[in-house]
Amino acid sequence: MDKTVEKVILVGVETEDNYLRFDGSMKELANLTKTAQGEVVFSLTQKRPKLDRQTVIGKGKVEELVQLVDAYEADTVIFNHELSPRQNQLIVDALGVKVIDRVQLILDIFAMRARSKEGKLQVELAQLNYLLPRLVGQGKQLSRLGGGIGTRGPGETKLESDRRHIRDKITAIKRELKEVTAHRERSRQKRRSSDLFQIGLIGYTNAGKSTILNMLTTAGTYSEDQLFATLDPLTKKWQLPQGMIVTLTDTVGFIQDLPTQLIEAFQSTLEESRNMDLLLHVVDASAEDRLQHEQTVVELLNDLDLEQIPVLTVYNKSDQVDKDEFIPTLFPNTLISAKSARGKEELTKAVRAKMMELLVPYEFDISSDQGQNLSELTRHTLLLSESFEDSKNAYHVKGFAPKNSKWVR
Protein backbone atom coordinates (compact mmCIF):
# COMPACT_ATOMS: atom_id res chain seq x y z
CA MET A 1 0.00 0.00 0.00
CA ASP A 2 1.42 3.41 -0.98
CA LYS A 3 1.89 5.76 1.92
CA THR A 4 0.46 9.14 1.03
CA VAL A 5 2.95 12.00 1.27
CA GLU A 6 2.24 14.29 4.20
CA LYS A 7 1.54 17.94 3.44
CA VAL A 8 3.76 20.07 5.63
CA ILE A 9 3.81 23.75 6.61
CA LEU A 10 7.19 25.01 7.83
CA VAL A 11 7.40 27.75 10.46
CA GLY A 12 10.48 29.85 11.24
CA VAL A 13 11.16 33.03 13.18
CA GLU A 14 14.06 35.31 12.27
CA THR A 15 15.45 36.86 15.47
CA GLU A 16 18.42 39.00 16.51
CA ASP A 17 20.27 35.77 17.32
CA ASN A 18 19.76 33.83 14.08
CA TYR A 19 19.30 36.36 11.25
CA LEU A 20 22.67 35.62 9.63
CA ARG A 21 21.91 31.96 9.05
CA PHE A 22 18.10 32.08 8.98
CA ASP A 23 17.56 31.67 5.22
CA GLY A 24 20.02 28.79 4.99
CA SER A 25 18.45 27.15 8.01
CA MET A 26 14.94 27.34 6.50
CA LYS A 27 16.23 25.90 3.22
CA GLU A 28 17.82 23.08 5.16
CA LEU A 29 14.54 22.46 7.01
CA ALA A 30 12.79 22.10 3.64
CA ASN A 31 15.45 19.58 2.54
CA LEU A 32 15.11 17.67 5.80
CA THR A 33 11.34 17.52 5.29
CA LYS A 34 11.82 16.18 1.77
CA THR A 35 14.26 13.57 3.09
CA ALA A 36 11.60 12.54 5.65
CA GLN A 37 9.19 12.10 2.71
CA GLY A 38 7.07 15.16 3.36
CA GLU A 39 5.86 17.77 0.85
CA VAL A 40 6.29 21.42 1.85
CA VAL A 41 3.09 23.25 0.86
CA PHE A 42 3.84 26.55 2.59
CA SER A 43 6.59 28.25 4.57
CA LEU A 44 5.51 30.78 7.20
CA THR A 45 8.26 33.11 8.40
CA GLN A 46 8.29 36.21 10.54
CA LYS A 47 10.77 38.65 12.08
CA ARG A 48 10.68 39.47 15.76
CA PRO A 49 13.34 40.43 18.35
CA LYS A 50 12.95 37.10 20.18
CA LEU A 51 10.70 34.03 20.20
CA ASP A 52 7.31 34.27 21.90
CA ARG A 53 7.52 32.39 25.20
CA GLN A 54 4.13 30.72 24.81
CA THR A 55 3.74 29.91 21.11
CA VAL A 56 7.09 30.93 19.52
CA ILE A 57 5.25 32.99 16.86
CA GLY A 58 2.70 34.95 18.92
CA LYS A 59 -1.09 34.94 19.02
CA GLY A 60 -1.72 36.72 15.70
CA LYS A 61 0.55 34.39 13.74
CA VAL A 62 -1.02 31.33 15.38
CA GLU A 63 -4.41 32.50 14.04
CA GLU A 64 -2.86 32.95 10.59
CA LEU A 65 -1.34 29.46 10.87
CA VAL A 66 -4.77 27.98 11.73
CA GLN A 67 -6.12 29.40 8.45
CA LEU A 68 -3.11 28.18 6.45
CA VAL A 69 -3.45 24.64 7.84
CA ASP A 70 -7.08 24.71 6.75
CA ALA A 71 -6.43 26.25 3.33
CA TYR A 72 -3.60 23.88 2.40
CA GLU A 73 -5.15 20.84 4.16
CA ALA A 74 -1.83 20.37 5.94
CA ASP A 75 -1.21 17.21 7.96
CA THR A 76 1.84 18.43 9.85
CA VAL A 77 3.42 21.70 11.00
CA ILE A 78 7.19 21.70 11.52
CA PHE A 79 8.88 24.44 13.55
CA ASN A 80 12.50 25.36 12.82
CA HIS A 81 13.05 25.80 16.58
CA GLU A 82 13.07 23.38 19.47
CA LEU A 83 9.67 23.54 21.15
CA SER A 84 9.22 23.13 24.89
CA PRO A 85 6.53 20.62 25.96
CA ARG A 86 4.28 23.56 26.97
CA GLN A 87 4.74 25.39 23.64
CA ASN A 88 4.04 22.22 21.71
CA GLN A 89 0.85 21.59 23.67
CA LEU A 90 -0.50 25.15 23.18
CA ILE A 91 0.20 25.07 19.42
CA VAL A 92 -1.37 21.60 18.99
CA ASP A 93 -4.49 22.73 20.87
CA ALA A 94 -4.81 25.72 18.54
CA LEU A 95 -4.11 23.92 15.25
CA GLY A 96 -5.59 20.48 15.77
CA VAL A 97 -2.89 18.80 13.66
CA LYS A 98 0.46 17.18 14.39
CA VAL A 99 3.17 19.66 15.41
CA ILE A 100 6.84 18.69 15.57
CA ASP A 101 10.10 20.62 15.74
CA ARG A 102 13.45 20.46 13.98
CA VAL A 103 14.89 18.05 16.57
CA GLN A 104 12.06 15.54 16.12
CA LEU A 105 12.38 15.81 12.35
CA ILE A 106 16.11 15.01 12.48
CA LEU A 107 15.50 12.15 14.91
CA ASP A 108 12.87 10.83 12.52
CA ILE A 109 15.32 10.80 9.59
CA PHE A 110 17.87 9.09 11.81
CA ALA A 111 15.25 6.41 12.58
CA MET A 112 14.72 5.88 8.83
CA ARG A 113 18.42 5.70 8.01
CA ALA A 114 19.93 3.70 10.88
CA ARG A 115 20.98 0.26 9.69
CA SER A 116 23.22 -1.30 12.34
CA LYS A 117 22.04 -2.51 15.72
CA GLU A 118 24.01 0.25 17.43
CA GLY A 119 22.61 2.94 15.12
CA LYS A 120 19.03 1.84 15.80
CA LEU A 121 19.60 1.72 19.57
CA GLN A 122 21.20 5.18 19.55
CA VAL A 123 18.22 6.64 17.66
CA GLU A 124 15.68 5.01 19.92
CA LEU A 125 17.49 6.26 23.01
CA ALA A 126 17.59 9.83 21.67
CA GLN A 127 13.90 9.69 20.72
CA LEU A 128 12.76 8.34 24.06
CA ASN A 129 14.86 10.90 25.98
CA TYR A 130 13.37 13.65 23.84
CA LEU A 131 9.79 12.45 24.19
CA LEU A 132 9.81 11.66 27.93
CA PRO A 133 9.22 15.25 29.14
CA ARG A 134 6.73 15.75 26.30
CA LEU A 135 4.42 12.91 27.32
CA VAL A 136 2.45 14.95 29.84
CA GLY A 137 -1.00 15.57 28.44
CA GLN A 138 -0.04 14.26 25.02
CA GLY A 139 -2.27 11.21 25.15
CA LYS A 140 -4.86 12.67 22.78
CA GLN A 141 -2.29 14.03 20.35
CA LEU A 142 -0.30 10.79 20.24
CA SER A 143 -3.35 8.65 19.59
CA ARG A 144 -4.17 11.00 16.70
CA LEU A 145 -0.70 10.75 15.15
CA GLY A 146 -1.16 7.42 13.43
CA GLY A 147 2.35 7.23 11.97
CA GLY A 148 4.17 9.50 9.55
CA ILE A 149 6.85 12.17 9.97
CA GLY A 150 8.09 12.51 13.52
CA THR A 151 6.61 9.20 14.69
CA ARG A 152 9.01 6.63 13.27
CA GLY A 153 11.19 4.70 15.65
CA PRO A 154 9.87 3.79 19.08
CA GLY A 155 6.31 3.45 17.79
CA GLU A 156 2.96 4.72 18.99
CA THR A 157 2.26 2.09 21.65
CA LYS A 158 5.55 2.76 23.42
CA LEU A 159 4.89 6.50 23.42
CA GLU A 160 1.46 6.03 24.99
CA SER A 161 2.88 3.79 27.72
CA ASP A 162 3.45 5.36 31.07
CA ARG A 163 6.64 7.21 31.88
CA ARG A 164 8.00 4.41 34.05
CA HIS A 165 7.85 2.03 31.12
CA ILE A 166 9.81 4.52 29.00
CA ARG A 167 12.39 5.00 31.76
CA ASP A 168 12.81 1.20 32.00
CA LYS A 169 13.21 1.06 28.23
CA ILE A 170 15.89 3.80 28.34
CA THR A 171 17.81 1.86 31.02
CA ALA A 172 17.61 -1.35 28.98
CA ILE A 173 18.83 0.40 25.80
CA LYS A 174 21.76 1.97 27.66
CA ARG A 175 22.76 -1.47 28.95
CA GLU A 176 22.53 -3.00 25.48
CA LEU A 177 24.47 -0.10 23.98
CA LYS A 178 27.30 -0.69 26.45
CA GLU A 179 27.65 -4.24 25.16
CA VAL A 180 27.55 -3.16 21.50
CA THR A 181 30.06 -0.36 22.18
CA ALA A 182 32.40 -2.80 23.95
CA HIS A 183 32.29 -5.04 20.87
CA ARG A 184 33.09 -2.06 18.61
CA GLU A 185 35.95 -1.07 20.91
CA ARG A 186 37.41 -4.59 20.56
CA SER A 187 37.29 -4.26 16.75
CA ARG A 188 38.95 -0.87 17.05
CA GLN A 189 41.75 -2.21 19.27
CA LYS A 190 42.32 -4.96 16.73
CA ARG A 191 42.67 -2.40 13.94
CA ARG A 192 44.98 -0.28 16.08
CA SER A 193 47.24 -3.20 16.93
CA SER A 194 47.53 -4.10 13.25
CA ASP A 195 49.55 -0.91 12.53
CA LEU A 196 47.08 0.17 9.86
CA PHE A 197 47.00 3.88 9.00
CA GLN A 198 43.43 5.05 9.70
CA ILE A 199 41.63 7.75 7.74
CA GLY A 200 38.25 9.18 8.74
CA LEU A 201 35.76 10.91 6.43
CA ILE A 202 33.94 13.78 8.12
CA GLY A 203 31.94 16.72 6.85
CA TYR A 204 28.60 18.44 6.56
CA THR A 205 25.72 16.21 5.64
CA ASN A 206 25.36 15.59 1.89
CA ALA A 207 28.90 16.79 1.06
CA GLY A 208 29.72 13.51 -0.71
CA LYS A 209 31.52 11.42 1.92
CA SER A 210 29.86 8.13 0.97
CA THR A 211 30.46 8.80 -2.73
CA ILE A 212 34.17 9.29 -1.98
CA LEU A 213 34.25 6.09 0.09
CA ASN A 214 32.66 4.21 -2.82
CA MET A 215 35.11 5.78 -5.26
CA LEU A 216 38.22 4.81 -3.28
CA THR A 217 37.05 1.38 -2.10
CA THR A 218 34.53 -1.18 -3.28
CA ALA A 219 32.30 -0.34 -0.32
CA GLY A 220 29.05 0.10 -2.24
CA THR A 221 27.56 2.17 0.61
CA TYR A 222 24.28 3.99 0.34
CA SER A 223 25.16 7.31 -1.27
CA GLU A 224 22.29 9.46 -2.40
CA ASP A 225 21.72 13.18 -2.72
CA GLN A 226 19.91 13.22 0.62
CA LEU A 227 20.60 14.56 4.05
CA PHE A 228 21.94 12.01 6.53
CA ALA A 229 22.27 9.23 3.97
CA THR A 230 24.88 7.60 6.25
CA LEU A 231 24.23 7.01 9.91
CA ASP A 232 26.37 4.06 10.83
CA PRO A 233 30.15 4.28 10.90
CA LEU A 234 31.47 2.07 8.14
CA THR A 235 35.12 1.07 7.87
CA LYS A 236 36.62 -0.28 4.65
CA LYS A 237 40.12 -1.11 3.47
CA TRP A 238 41.66 1.04 0.76
CA GLN A 239 44.77 -0.10 -1.08
CA LEU A 240 46.92 2.74 -2.36
CA PRO A 241 48.53 2.40 -5.81
CA GLN A 242 51.93 1.63 -4.19
CA GLY A 243 50.37 -1.29 -2.30
CA MET A 244 49.92 0.20 1.19
CA ILE A 245 46.62 -0.75 2.86
CA VAL A 246 44.84 1.89 4.96
CA THR A 247 41.36 1.98 6.49
CA LEU A 248 38.67 4.51 5.57
CA THR A 249 35.80 5.22 7.97
CA ASP A 250 32.66 7.04 6.87
CA THR A 251 30.69 8.89 9.56
CA VAL A 252 27.34 10.59 10.02
CA GLY A 253 27.09 14.05 8.44
CA PHE A 254 27.29 17.14 10.62
CA ILE A 255 24.57 19.80 10.54
CA GLN A 256 24.29 23.30 11.98
CA ASP A 257 22.42 23.57 15.28
CA LEU A 258 22.84 19.82 15.72
CA PRO A 259 20.65 19.12 18.75
CA THR A 260 22.61 18.16 21.87
CA GLN A 261 20.56 14.96 22.15
CA LEU A 262 21.99 13.90 18.80
CA ILE A 263 25.58 14.76 19.66
CA GLU A 264 25.20 12.59 22.76
CA ALA A 265 23.32 9.84 20.95
CA PHE A 266 25.88 9.64 18.18
CA GLN A 267 28.93 10.12 20.34
CA SER A 268 29.99 6.58 19.49
CA THR A 269 29.62 7.23 15.76
CA LEU A 270 31.93 10.20 16.06
CA GLU A 271 33.99 8.29 18.64
CA GLU A 272 35.36 6.31 15.69
CA SER A 273 37.06 9.50 14.52
CA ARG A 274 39.07 9.86 17.75
CA ASN A 275 41.53 7.16 16.75
CA MET A 276 42.14 8.37 13.22
CA ASP A 277 45.59 9.29 11.95
CA LEU A 278 44.10 11.66 9.37
CA LEU A 279 40.68 13.21 8.83
CA LEU A 280 39.39 14.04 5.36
CA HIS A 281 36.99 16.96 5.78
CA VAL A 282 34.71 16.71 2.75
CA VAL A 283 33.10 20.02 1.75
CA ASP A 284 30.49 20.58 -0.96
CA ALA A 285 32.33 23.25 -2.97
CA SER A 286 29.08 24.25 -4.71
CA ALA A 287 26.98 24.77 -1.55
CA GLU A 288 25.57 28.28 -1.15
CA ASP A 289 26.27 28.18 2.60
CA ARG A 290 29.71 26.61 2.19
CA LEU A 291 31.42 28.85 4.77
CA GLN A 292 28.69 28.17 7.32
CA HIS A 293 29.02 24.41 6.68
CA GLU A 294 32.80 24.56 7.15
CA GLN A 295 32.44 26.54 10.37
CA THR A 296 29.85 24.09 11.75
CA VAL A 297 32.18 21.13 11.20
CA VAL A 298 35.25 22.90 12.62
CA GLU A 299 33.30 23.96 15.73
CA LEU A 300 31.92 20.46 16.27
CA LEU A 301 35.41 18.97 15.91
CA ASN A 302 36.55 21.33 18.68
CA ASP A 303 33.54 20.38 20.84
CA LEU A 304 34.44 16.71 20.44
CA ASP A 305 38.15 17.30 21.19
CA LEU A 306 39.20 16.15 17.74
CA GLU A 307 41.03 19.33 16.71
CA GLN A 308 44.45 17.76 17.35
CA ILE A 309 44.00 15.22 14.51
CA PRO A 310 45.56 16.31 11.17
CA VAL A 311 42.95 17.34 8.56
CA LEU A 312 43.02 17.47 4.76
CA THR A 313 40.06 19.41 3.35
CA VAL A 314 38.55 17.80 0.24
CA TYR A 315 36.50 20.29 -1.75
CA ASN A 316 34.11 18.01 -3.65
CA LYS A 317 31.70 18.66 -6.57
CA SER A 318 34.26 20.73 -8.52
CA ASP A 319 32.16 20.00 -11.64
CA GLN A 320 29.52 22.35 -10.20
CA VAL A 321 31.80 25.37 -9.62
CA ASP A 322 34.04 27.59 -11.76
CA LYS A 323 37.49 26.25 -10.87
CA ASP A 324 39.21 29.54 -11.77
CA GLU A 325 36.96 31.57 -9.48
CA PHE A 326 36.79 29.10 -6.59
CA ILE A 327 38.58 30.41 -3.47
CA PRO A 328 39.32 27.78 -0.79
CA THR A 329 39.14 28.85 2.84
CA LEU A 330 40.57 25.82 4.66
CA PHE A 331 44.13 24.54 4.22
CA PRO A 332 45.66 22.16 3.25
CA ASN A 333 43.09 21.22 0.62
CA THR A 334 42.40 19.61 -2.73
CA LEU A 335 39.57 20.34 -5.20
CA ILE A 336 38.00 17.28 -6.88
CA SER A 337 34.83 15.81 -8.29
CA ALA A 338 34.11 12.36 -6.85
CA LYS A 339 31.96 11.70 -9.91
CA SER A 340 34.77 12.31 -12.43
CA ALA A 341 37.35 9.82 -13.67
CA ARG A 342 40.23 12.01 -12.46
CA GLY A 343 38.75 12.56 -9.00
CA LYS A 344 40.18 9.35 -7.56
CA GLU A 345 43.66 10.03 -8.93
CA GLU A 346 43.71 13.64 -7.65
CA LEU A 347 42.46 12.70 -4.18
CA THR A 348 44.87 9.77 -3.88
CA LYS A 349 47.77 12.07 -4.77
CA ALA A 350 46.72 14.65 -2.15
CA VAL A 351 46.21 12.02 0.57
CA ARG A 352 49.59 10.43 -0.22
CA ALA A 353 51.35 13.81 0.05
CA LYS A 354 49.67 14.48 3.42
CA MET A 355 50.58 11.01 4.69
CA MET A 356 54.24 11.59 3.83
CA GLU A 357 54.18 14.61 6.17
CA LEU A 358 52.72 12.51 8.99
CA LEU A 359 54.73 9.30 8.62
CA VAL A 360 58.38 8.68 9.49
CA PRO A 361 60.88 8.21 6.61
CA TYR A 362 62.96 5.01 6.42
CA GLU A 363 65.77 3.72 4.23
CA PHE A 364 67.49 0.33 4.64
CA ASP A 365 68.39 -2.95 2.92
CA ILE A 366 66.40 -6.19 2.90
CA SER A 367 68.39 -9.28 1.93
CA SER A 368 67.11 -11.21 -1.07
CA ASP A 369 66.02 -14.18 1.04
CA GLN A 370 63.65 -11.90 3.05
CA GLY A 371 60.93 -11.74 0.37
CA GLN A 372 58.21 -12.03 2.98
CA ASN A 373 59.49 -8.84 4.67
CA LEU A 374 59.42 -6.98 1.37
CA SER A 375 55.79 -7.85 0.67
CA GLU A 376 54.84 -6.93 4.27
CA LEU A 377 56.65 -3.62 3.87
CA THR A 378 54.67 -2.93 0.69
CA ARG A 379 51.35 -3.53 2.44
CA HIS A 380 52.04 -1.73 5.74
CA THR A 381 54.14 1.26 4.67
CA LEU A 382 54.27 3.82 1.89
CA LEU A 383 57.06 2.23 -0.17
CA LEU A 384 58.49 4.85 -2.54
CA SER A 385 61.32 2.88 -4.14
CA GLU A 386 62.97 -0.51 -4.12
CA SER A 387 66.06 -1.44 -6.12
CA PHE A 388 68.05 -4.66 -6.14
CA GLU A 389 71.78 -4.23 -5.50
CA ASP A 390 73.84 -7.15 -6.80
CA SER A 391 76.90 -6.29 -4.72
CA LYS A 392 74.89 -6.64 -1.49
CA ASN A 393 72.46 -9.31 -2.77
CA ALA A 394 69.74 -7.16 -1.18
CA TYR A 395 66.88 -4.79 -1.94
CA HIS A 396 67.47 -1.15 -1.06
CA VAL A 397 64.15 0.30 0.09
CA LYS A 398 62.95 3.84 0.81
CA GLY A 399 59.61 5.00 2.09
CA PHE A 400 57.49 6.21 4.99
CA ALA A 401 56.03 4.20 7.88
CA PRO A 402 53.77 4.85 10.91
CA LYS A 403 55.89 5.98 13.86
CA ASN A 404 55.04 2.92 16.02
CA SER A 405 55.82 0.57 13.18
CA LYS A 406 58.56 -2.06 13.47
CA TRP A 407 60.01 -0.66 10.23
CA VAL A 408 61.04 2.60 11.86
CA ARG A 409 64.57 2.11 13.13
Q: Residues annotated in the binding site for GTP, as ranges?
A: 203-210, 228-232, 250-253, 316-319, 337-339
| 3-state SS track over the chain | CCCCCEEEEEEEEECCCCCCCHHHHHHHHHHHHHHCCEEEEEEEEEECCCCECCCECCHHHHHHHHHHHHHHCCCEEEECCCCCHHHHHHHHHHHCCEEEEHHHHHHHHHHHHCCCHHHHHHHHHHHHHHHHHHCCCCHHHHHHHCCCCCCCCCCHHHHHCCHHHHHHHHHHHHHHHHHHHHHHHHHHHHHHHCCCEEEEEEEECCCCHHHHHHHHCCCCCCCCCCCCCCCCCEEEEEECCCCCEEEEEECCCECCCCCHHHHHHCHHHHHHHHHCCEEEEEEECCCCCHHHHHHHHHHHHHHCCCCCCCEEEEEECHHHCCCCCCCCCCCCEEECCCCCHHHHHHHHHHHHHHHHHHCEEEEEEEECCCHHHHHHHHHHCEEEEEEEECCCCEEEEEEEECCCCCCCC
Annotated binding site: 203-210, 228-232, 250-253, 316-319, 337-339
Annotated binding site for Mg(2+): 210, 230
